[in-house]
Amino acid sequence: MDLYDVSFFLSTMWVGPFWFGMLIFPEHKLTQKAMEGPWFFLGPILIWWAATLAEPQGLIDFAKDSTNPAGVLEGLAAIMGTKPGAAAAWAHMVAGDIFVTRWMWMRCGQEKISRGVTAAIVFFGVMLMPVGLAIYLAFVRSTNVPE
């Protein structure tokens, strides 16, 4: 097991307690407290930095490839095809998923959305973000919109 295996594991496990709290115990005071600060996404962000700094050449190569619009996708594919690139991308995705899921979860609470719909949004928000976002957009309408 190397640094990249560990970073993949840690970024996944980091968001687990926060996700389970929103999913299973959304009204619990510990869940509410845990979701107030930045801790829910800070772990994966720090892991992204660690994975990126451990192999900075990938980011440098990607920056070079980005100067040629025709080479951006090839550069990204080359980075993603490496353990450092995949580990960094995974940490990036996990951080984004939990960040957006928290926002949707909070909005569901503000708009008094049913627990079942909220659970579906939270579940898919982390597991398959486009599905979670689609459920959110289908069921959550703000009641605070000025007319």
89-146 tens-digit pLDDT: 999 999 999 999 999 999 999 999 999 999 999 999 999 999 999 999 999 986 665 5
Q: What is the average per-residue pLDDT within 33-47?
A: 91
Q: What is the average per-residue pLDDT within 67-71?
A: 80
Q: What is the average per-residue pLDDT within 85-89?
A: 90
Average pLDDT of the chain, as a whole number? 89
Is residue 91 within 8 Å of 11, Cβ to Cβ?
Answer: yes
Torsion region of 7: left, alpha or beta (phi above 0 gives left; psi -120 to 50 gives alpha): alpha
Res. 74 pLDDT band, cuts 50 70 90 = confident
State the pLDDT at residue 77: 85
| pLDDT > 70 in the chain, percent | 96
Q: What is the average per-residue pLDDT within 84-92?
A: 90
Res. 84 pLDDT band, cuts 50 70 90 = confident
State the pLDDT at residue 137: 95
State the pLDDT at residue 60: 83
Is residue 60 within 8 Å of 17, Cβ to Cβ?
Answer: no
State the pLDDT at residue 143: 65
Task: Tell me the C-alpha distance between 10 and 90, whole Å.
Answer: 11
State the pLDDT at residue 145: 54
